[in-house]
Amino acid sequence: MIAMFDSGLGGLSIWKAVTRSLPAWPVTYLADQAYCPYGPRSQREIATRTLQICRYLADQGATLIVIACNTATSAGIDHVRKALPIPVVGVEPAIKPAAAASRSGKISVLATQAMLASQRFDSLVHRHAATVEVIPRPGLGWVEQVEAGDLNSAHTRKLVGDVIQPLLQQDVDHIVLGCTHYPFLAPLIREMVGDQVVLDDPADAIARRVASLIDSRPILPMTDRHYRFLTTSPDPAPMAAVLPALIGMSYPVQSTGLD
């Protein structure tokens, strides 16, 4: 079983890529909605929570875990890899390909406050973007809008526009979607930036990485395919209500009981 988790529903952008690439594999998705959003939390708190959730997923039978959250990857993946004997795949902003492909020499990275303040982010910029100007911007309020399934209201458009419009005056030609929630706002961002700006989303690269780690394992028949959706919220109804807007399908959602 492949298991993945995010602070909330943003990791479903990774879920879509993984299930599209590996349709015969069962996948369990956990949304840590009791702690969402992670962005304002400390690195230590996020790291502790990440390890707790990954241990829970391993106990549920996961043979591979995807930390489908940039913030949790940054804070906790090293601890998880040391603690668990199974493959663990993380998510990082696609800074390397954006910097390599930029023609203007200016890229922007949109991410949570915690991700932008992390040592991992600084390391990525230092290693992969030394020859370009990197303009980091937090998508304030974006996570909450995606969690609510509100992808195109006037309020959402204002929140996105407040970040995107100033970038259009700075000759940015690549925008890195450095939070897994943000791809759900990509159609709105695309409307604002036009076709001249590339939106860099690592979802397909993550799916390829997952496939490379499990391709030697037996593939289950299609009839055994099973998708599970879990939330740490005591009330699973809101997540169930939003799933169709984000993945185009309805599924039952269970509460994990995790504190």
CA 114, distance to chain mean position in Å, is: 14
Show the tokens assigned to 109.
């990275």
Active-site hit among 17, 69, 114, 253: 69
- Verify whether residue 179 is a known catalytic residue: yes
Active-site hit among 179, 207, 210, 230: 179
Sign of CA dihedral 79, 60, 205, 115: negative
- Verify whether residue 54 is a known catalytic residue: no
Show the tokens assigned to 6.
């995010």
From residue 77, how far is each of 191, 212, 234, 257 by CA, in Å? Answer: 34, 19, 26, 23
CA nearest neighbour of 201 among 180, 222, 220: 180
CA 246, distance to chain mean position in Å, is: 13
Q: Which residues are catalytic?
A: 69, 179
